[in-house]
Amino acid sequence: WLYHERLVGLFADSSDFWLVRTKADGDTLWTRTFGEPDSNNICQSGQLTFDGGYIMAASGEVMWLIKTNADGDTLWTRRTGGPGTSEPVHVVQTADSGYAIFGNIFGTLAAPDTTAPRNWLLIKTDSLGSLKWSRTYGGDGDEQSLGMLLTDDGGFLLTGWLDLTDTVDVVALWLVRTDSIGDTLWTTTVGDSGLSLGIDLLELAEGEYAVTGVTSPTGEDSFSGWLVRFGDPTAQSTTPVVAGVPKAFALHANYPNPFNPSTTIGFDLPVAAVVTLTVYDILGREVVRLENRQMGAGYHQATWNGRANDGREVPTGIYFARITAAEYRQTIKMLLLK
């Protein structure tokens, strides 16, 4: 593959779905088709994996996970759930090279039931797709999962909607925070009339999150986009929080990771400080210095385009981003795949 080639999309029709690899100008390099006979196969989520291949989560006759190599050829598949009972919405590779799948299920994974309420489903697998654990979240109504985020401590942040009336007439944005094995740490909702739901998530700092979504307070057909900022309801702090200013220094995991050709690194400054943000290779040699200046308190981002200080493109490999700000020191690991 050339440096500027990239994955552009996962598409679905009434029977099969496709994995499409293109160049930067959109010219197709290859396509792969996936599907089960006599089934409406839909893939809503896929990701580049640490080894340069792809992972996809799809719904057909049952929920299934597909792992391919870098050329899109299938390495293995795993199927779970009962017929017509489960739908994956997101799949991500976790730090242990396993996978997390977030979606919906009628009943539970052990006892799927099309007559049961629809709840959220979170599945964790090993690197070969074998089930390690599963968790369901929800009540007596029909809940809908929409967004998942891996948190800095290895846990999960989940969002979508919670049915407050068992009739889907009033649904609230629902945010669930779990630990690394899916056990609930806390939940919170926003909205007690009409329709409100969360779609995507961002971890701003330790214990602070933003959710994007849509809302229709009167339940009519007209919706508005909205942004909701949350704090950890279990956090105990006597330090006053100034709006727009983080409570502590933090260096966040880069996104996307793995990446090609660029990635974004977020960091938080509770006070003004001289910031040095440097990328090193696996041998500890400086590759590029992204920041080296006085910066104000707040939430910041830096983008690395996969090039060194001299402008050359660096090869595939593991790199480290290290920040120094006042007395704060932190390092994250990044994976560049071409």
pLDDT in tens, 253-266: 888 888 888 898 98
pLDDT at position 11, please?
A: 44
Cβ count near 183 (within 10 Å): 10
More confident residue, 139 or 21: 21
Q: Average pLDDT of 283-308?
A: 91
317 DSSP β-pair partners: 336
Distance CA 163, CA 168 (A): 6
The answer to whether residues 336 and 323 touch, using CB atoms and an 8 Å cutoff, is no
Residue 219: the pLDDT is: 60
Determine the Cα–Cα distance for residues 232 and 152; give it in Å rounded to an integer.
Answer: 14
127-136, 207-216, 306-315: segment of lowest average pLDDT: 207-216
pTM of the predicted model as reported, rounded to 2 decimal places: 0.69
Query: Half-sphere exposure of residue 290, counting CA atoms within 13 Å on the CB side?
Result: 23
Residue written as tokens 């120094």? 324
Handedness of CA 31, 59, 95, 249 (dihedral sign): positive
Angle, alpha carbons 1-10-97 (nearest 5°): 70
CB-count exposure of residue 290 (10 Å: 0-12, 13-18, 19+): middle
CA–CA distance, 250 with 116 (Å, rounded to integer): 43
Q: CA 312, CA 151: separation in Å to the nearest integer?
A: 33
Q: Is the pLDDT of residue 300 over 60?
A: yes
Backbone angles phi, psi at 172, to 5 degrees: -115, 150
Q: Which of 39-43, 123-127, 276-280 has the lowest mean pLDDT?
A: 39-43
> Cα 5 to the chain's mean position, in Å?
23
Mean residue pLDDT of the chain comes to 85
Rounded to whole angstroms, the Cα distance separating 130 from 80 reads 10
State yes or no: pLDDT of 36 exceeds 80.
no
Q: Could you tell me the two tokens for 235? A: 């956090």
pLDDT above 90 for 57: yes
pLDDT computed for residue 134 by the predictor: 94
| Dihedral, CA of residue 21, residue 93, residue 256 and residue 155, to nearest 10 | 160
Tell me: pLDDT of 10 over 50. no
CA-to-CA separations, 248 to 240, 296, 315, in angstroms, rounded: 12, 13, 34
DSSP string for 287-313: EEEEEEEEE-SEEEEEEE-SB-TTSPB
Cα–Cα distance list, 43 to 9, 17, 56, 295 (Å)? 11, 6, 7, 43
Q: How far is CA 252 from the centre of its chain?
A: 14
Q: How far apart are CA 298 and CA 47, in angstroms?
A: 30
Residue type, 269: L
